[in-house]
Copies of this chain bind each other. A is one copy, B any other.
Amino acid sequence: MPLAHFFLRERVRPGDRVVDATCGNGHDTAFLAELVGAAGTVWAFDIQESALAATKARLAAAGYAGRAEFVLAGHERLAEIVTGPVGGVVFNLGFLPGAGKETVTSPATTRAALEQAAALLLPGGVVTVAVYTGHAGGLEEGRGVEEWAAGLSPAAFNVWRCRQMNRSDAAPYLVVVERVPA
């Protein structure tokens, strides 16, 4: 399973509020909907109507239609839309599936969204950020994520950067931010 799921499965609980900040084709939205159960809520953000439609169809097929709120907006509006503390927030940076190659997440809005996500976390909650560096601007975006993460207070957050060791240096990597459990 994807590395991010080790963290999310351990920390997201039935009834939780969670966020898919970049829902794309909806794979992670469906995974989160499974974890939060019928009493939970997943906010699914995307700037493409087609992505939200694909995600909505995927959730309906899985029987999770009632567990998600679909938000046609960039994730930099997260704090404005999501109410209350959250158990987890998932980011997949880089290309938006199905969009043209010029449609990528951007360092400034990603940074704003990350700050809002960390601020909303419950104790023990996690933000996972999958960073892809193969596209123009990807390395810079990754550096921005790392700068932000490295600056988080170690009293409030545990932060890890996980790289695949037996694959190319260009393989995606994961940044995990955990709010220190109570």
- Chain A residues close to B by CB (< 8 Å): 1, 3, 6-7, 9-10, 146, 149-154, 157-167, 174-176, 181
Contacts and interface: CB of A to CB of B under 8 A. Distances in A.
A162 B159 CA distance: 10
Nearest to A7: B6
Given A6-B7, A7-B6, A10-B6, A161 B158 contact: no
A8 to B, nearest CB: 10
Nearest to A173: B160
A160 B164 contact: yes
A160 B157 contact: no
A152 B166 contact: yes
A163 B160 contact: yes
